[in-house]
Amino acid sequence: MITRAALLSTGDELTTGRIADTNAQWLADKLFECGVEVVCTLVVGDFPERLAWAWRQALAQADLVISTGGIGPTADDLTTETVAGVLGVGLVMHEPSADRMRRFFASRGVDPMPENNLKQAMIPAGAVVVDNALGTAPGYRAATPDGRHLVVLPGVPREMKPMVEEQVLPWIRAQRGGEVYLARTFQTFGISESGLDQLVAGVVADDEGRVSFRASFPEVSLRVVVHGAPDVAAARLAAVGDRLRERLGEYCYGEDALTMEQAVGDALTARAWSVAVAESCTGGLVGHRLTNVPGSSAYFVGGVQAYADATKERLLGVPSDVLARHGAVSEETARAMAEGARRALGADVAVSITGIAGPDGGTPEKPVGLVCFGLASSAGTVSATHRLWGTRDWVKLLASQIALDLLRRHALGLPAHDATLFRRR
């Protein structure tokens, strides 16, 4: 049975830092859901001796090694030759893959195909091909004489991920027998990772499932994994998941890969509300995130990037005496910006942001990271001030998240955030 896996990512572009190894991160998450423990991740450049060392190390640690990268057509793609050496077998041409490559190039007007592409159709003798519907390089899987397993895949995520989802994971589950591993992931905002841990303590017993946390600025996700026979696991996941969702309450804005902007769109759609935004320090980030959601034209009417004070006055109608008395970064200005955006754009609800993103521009009275928010609707206008922290891009991203969550909370009838929540601890 496959219980332990090692991940091997190859390519000079990884070891030189030109690109990040996102493949291993994604694979580890998928293997965790299958109940397979990832014991190590190795990243190695395109050198034969280093590749052979990495494969030997990986096989010594795990029942399964999954490799990505190094199976292209060029001279520095050395994975397949290395794997054949590790297995002690020769290379054979996989004719269906070779024929598919020729048709692929011919359909694009390249005939004859460059001969070096045939290198991608060479696989270790005895290996089973993992079809690649989106690229020219097939993957494959093989077994060592002592019963360990190898899976070799292309490094291009767009190609690799469907191959894993559709072919590799079902094979792994079959190797593991009748038990399945099922998971629910809850996306939260407005509570720290440690606070979340305390909030859900005791909700899931050790023999029911495993709870884990992942902080991914500016939110924290919570995942629960259960296992057992398919029907038993499904019922258990529903039960523990519902208990967790109830305990998380207002902090949970959705499940699985749902984004905050999608949650806001769902909440606005449920109320049949339109929304407008007025942004200063975030420079249009809230509007950008809202319009990243397909179908957002049903509720997003527009936004104003009112960076200069004169723009706040001219386009949003912020009174000059408000700016003079309270300054651009104040709740009074944020309230006037939200009211002006709602009025000018004819929206049901409008949210505004004005602040000091840094790294300069702060004063003792109004330091870097001070951000004020406003929200105007038919129910009136509310405002809030938060002291945020981090680099300029962190302040902007966190401010946009707070603004979006203010919209979500208002549409759902929930209270606003605690003003001390987002300060550095």
Query: Which residue is listed with tokens 């005939």?
Result: 111
Please report which confidence band the pLDDT of residue 423 belongs to, taking 50, 70 and 90 as the band edges.
low
Chain segment 125-138, per-residue pLDDT in tens: 999 999 999 988 99
The percent helix, strand, coil of the chain (3-state, each to 5) is 45, 25, 35
User: In the chain, what percentage of residues exceed pLDDT 90?
Assistant: 84
Please give the C-alpha separations between residue 277 and each of 299, 340, 351, in angstroms, as whole numbers: 12, 10, 5
Mean pLDDT of the chain: 94
**Given a cut of 90, is residue 110 above it in pLDDT?**
no
Beta bridge mates, 351: 277, 375
Looking at domain 4-176, its CATH class is alpha beta
- What pLDDT shows up at residue 105? 87
Yes or no: domain 260-412 corresponds to CATH 3.40.250.10: no
**Given a cut of 70, is residue 418 above it in pLDDT?**
no
Please report which confidence band the pLDDT of residue 420 belongs to, taking 50, 70 and 90 as the band edges.
low
- What pLDDT shows up at residue 422? 59
- What pLDDT shows up at residue 75? 84
For CA atoms 88, 93, 97, 102, the dihedral sign is positive
Report the pLDDT averaged over residues 90-110: 90
- What pLDDT shows up at residue 356? 98
Report the pLDDT averaged over residues 349-353: 98
Residues 6+ apart with CB under 8 A from 204: 210, 211, 224, 240, 243, 244
What is the Cα–Cα distance from 256 to 35, expressed in whole angstroms?
18
Q: Where along the chain do its domains lie? A: 4-176, 180-255, 260-412
Same fold, 4-176 and 180-255: no
What is the Cα–Cα distance from 400 to 69, expressed in whole angstroms?
37
User: Which amino acid, one-letter code, is at 268?
Assistant: L
Please give the C-alpha separations between residue 179 and each of 166, 167, 197, 324, 370, in angstroms, as whole numbers: 19, 18, 28, 67, 51
The CATH label, of 3.30.360.10, 3.40.640.10, 3.30.70.2860, 3.40.50.300, for the domain at 180-255 is 3.30.70.2860
Nearest to 153 by CA among 173, 131, 178: 131
Q: Tell me how far the alpha carbon of residue 398 is from its chain's centroid.
A: 16
Chain segment 4-29, per-residue pLDDT in tens: 999 999 999 999 999 999 999 999 98
- What is the 8-class DSSP label of residue 135? S
Mean pLDDT check: name the lowest of 195-199, 215-219, 372-376: 215-219
- What pLDDT shows up at residue 253? 97
For the chain, the straight-line distance linking the first and the last C-alpha, in angstroms and rounded, comes to: 45
Burial 259-284 (b: 16+ CB within 10 A, else e): bbbbbbbbbbeeeebbbbbbbbbbee
- Helical spans, DSSP H, in 251-297: 260-271, 285-291
Chain segment 300-317, per-residue pLDDT in tens: 999 999 999 999 999 999
Beta bridge mates, 38: 5
Chain segment 255-284, per-residue pLDDT in tens: 998 999 999 999 999 999 999 999 999 999
Nearest to 411 by CA among 243, 266, 261, 285: 266
Chain segment 356-372, per-residue pLDDT in tens: 999 999 999 999 999 99
Determine which helix (DSSP H) or strand (DSSP E) holds 303, and give its type and residue range: strand 300-305
Tell me if 167 sits within 8 A of 217, measured CB to CB: no
Residue 99 has which token pair? Answer: 């024929």
Please give the C-alpha separations between residue 219 and each of 209, 242, 291, 335, 401, in angstroms, as whole numbers: 23, 20, 20, 26, 9
Nearest to 375 by CA among 343, 411, 334: 334
- What pLDDT shows up at residue 148? 96
Chain segment 150-193, per-residue pLDDT in tens: 999 999 999 999 999 999 999 998 888 767 788 999 999 999 99
